[in-house]
Amino acid sequence: MKPFSSPSDPDDTEDSDSGGAGLFDALLAAGGVRAAVDDRAWLRAMLDVQAALARAQARLGTVPAAAAEAVTVVCRRHPFDLAAIGADATGAGNPVVPLVAALRAAVGPDVGRYVHAGATSQDILDTAAMLIVQRALRPLLRDLDRAADSAARLADAHRDTLLPARTLLQQALPTTFGLVAAGWLTALDGTADRITTARAQVPAVQLGGAAGTLASFGTDGPALVELFAAELGLAAPPLPWHTDRSRLADLAGTLGTTAGSLSKIARDVTLHAQTEVGEVAEERPGGSSTLPHKRNPVAAVTAIACAAQAPGLVATLLASMTQEHQRAAGAWHAEWRALRALLESVGSATYWLRTCLDGLRVDTARMRANLDLTGGALLAERVSGALAERLGRQQANAIVKAALVDPGPASPGPASPGLVDRLAADPQVSALLTRDQLGQLLDPAGYLGAHRELIDRALAAHGNRLSTLSKEERT
Of 399, 397, 468, 383, the residue nearest 434 (C-alpha): 383
Q: Map 384-441 to HEC letters.
A: HHHHHHHHCHHHHHHHHHHHHCCCCCCCCCCCCHHHHHHHHHCHHHHCCCCHHHHHHH
Of 454, 414, 368, 447, the residue nearest 162 (C-alpha): 368
Catalytic residue chosen out of the listed positions 5, 246, 288, 467? 288
Cα distance between residue 269 and residue 266, in whole Å = 5
288 among known catalytic residues: yes
Beta pairing partners, 385: none
Amino acid at 166: R
327 among known catalytic residues: yes
Catalytic residue chosen out of the listed positions 327, 366, 435, 465? 327
What is the Cα Rg of the chain in Å? 30
Q: What's phi and psi for 167, nearest 5 deg?
A: -125, 135
Whether 184 contacts 152, CB under 8 Å: no
Q: Map the chain to HEC letters.
A: CCCCCCCCCCCCCCCCCCCCCCCCHHHHCCCHHHHHHCHHHHHHHHHHHHHHHHHHHHHHCCCCHHHHHHHHHHHHHCCCCHHHHHHHHHHCCCCHHHHHHHHHHHHCHHHHCCCCCCCCHHHHHHHHHHHHHHHHHHHHHHHHHHHHHHHHHHHHHCCCCEEEEEECCEEEEEEEHHHHHHHHHHHHHHHHHHHHHHHHHCCECCCCCCCCCCHHHHHHHHHHHHHHHHHHCCECCCCCCCCCCHHHHHHHHHHHHHHHHHHHHHHHHHHHCCCCCCCEECCCCECCCCCCCCCECHHHHHHHHHHCCHHHHHHHHHHCCCCCCCCCCCHHHHHHHHHHHHHHHHHHHHHHHHHHHHCCEECHHHHHHHHHHHCCHHHHHHHHHHHHHHHCHHHHHHHHHHHHCCCCCCCCCCCCHHHHHHHHHCHHHHCCCCHHHHHHHCCHHHCCCCHHHHHHHHHHHHHHHHHHHHHHHHC
Could you give the residue numbers annotated as active site? 288, 327
